[in-house]
Amino acid sequence: MGNICLLTVQDNGLVPIVEPEILLDGEHGIDRTFEVAQKVWAEVFFYLAENNVMFEGILLKPSMVTPGAECKERATPEQVAEYTLNLLKRRIPPAVPGIMFLSGGQSEVEATLNLNAMNQSPNPWHVSFSYARALQNTCLKKWGGRPESVKEAQEALLIRAKANSLAQLGKYTGEGESEESKQGMFVKGYVY
């Protein structure tokens, strides 16, 4: 897990990033993701505590609690928020200052709606995002390496950035989203 590395990072005044991501591969429902995430997060925080890592000095970047990408029963943003916040309350010490969620293969809009729903419920953390694909996907497709498409790509990136900014305040409505931004980005067997 890099325990010594985390301590070395904190000892040198830097903030370690802790990323307990549960991948979306599978047909499992949201309950199974919740069950697995509870075990994973319990282990992560057990070993952080065992190694005297200061919780208030970490940046947590987990995935949200969602059903598997191939699950027939999709979860609403409210369900994702409820499961994810329940998991946070059970496993994350309030000393952790903020949580930046990964999009983890969700569509741009799905990730934004789920983040928004979490921020419409009270919780002791600053709940934000650390999206890569869910910020860049439409932008990169619009650009496609073509110099004449730079402005259109920049506009797409600005739309996504504004949407996620509103979502971290719980004020995102989902209005005016393109069909492209609603398409899932799950890649089976994705390797980092």
Q: In the chain, pLDDT over 70 holds for what percent of residues?
A: 88
């496993």: which residue's tokens?
A: 91
pLDDT digit string (tens) for 30-59?
999 999 999 999 999 999 998 888 999 999
Q: List helix spans (H) across the chain.
A: 3-11, 30-50, 77-91, 108-118, 133-143, 150-167
More confident residue, 3 or 22: 22
Residue 179, pLDDT score: 59
Sheet holding 126-129, edge to edge: 17-18, 59-60, 98-101, 126-129
Q: What is the pLDDT of residue 38?
A: 96
Distance CA 134, CA 100 (A): 13
CA distances to 139, 144, 162, 177, 178 from 149, in Å = 10, 7, 20, 19, 17
In this predicted structure, what is the pLDDT of residue 180? 58
Q: What is the predicted pLDDT for the residue at 191?
A: 59
Closest CA to 102 of 18, 45, 180: 18
User: Residue with structure tokens 């057990």?
Assistant: 46
Which has the closest alpha carbon to 62: 92, 90, 26? 92
Catalytic, out of 27, 50, 56, 61: 61
61 is catalytic: yes
The pLDDT of residue 186: 47
Task: Say what the pLDDT of residue 1 is.
Answer: 45
Q: What is the mean pLDDT of the chain?
A: 87
pTM of the model: 0.84
Please name which of 64, 63, 54, 130 lies closest in space to residue 93, comparing C-alpha atoms.
54
pLDDT for 184 equals: 57
In this predicted model, which residue has the larger pLDDT, 23 or 164?
164
The beta-carbon contacts of 11-19 under 8 Å, at least 24 apart in sequence, are 15/57, 15/58, 15/59, 16/53, 16/57, 16/58, 16/59, 17/58, 17/59, 17/61, 18/44, 18/48, 18/58, 18/59, 18/60, 18/61, 19/60, 19/61, 19/62, 19/102
pLDDT band at 65 (very low <50, low <70, confident <90, very high): very high
Model confidence at 72, pLDDT cuts 50, 70, 90, reads very high
Residue 5 has pLDDT above 90, yes or no: no
**Which class does domain 3-134 fall in?**
alpha beta
More confident residue, 75 or 22: 75
Dig out the tokens for 149 from the structure.
């498409």
* Residue 73 appears among annotated catalytic residues: no
Question: For the chain, what are the domain ranges?
Answer: 3-134
100-151 pLDDT, tens per residue? 998 877 889 999 999 999 999 888 888 999 888 888 888 999 999 999 999 9
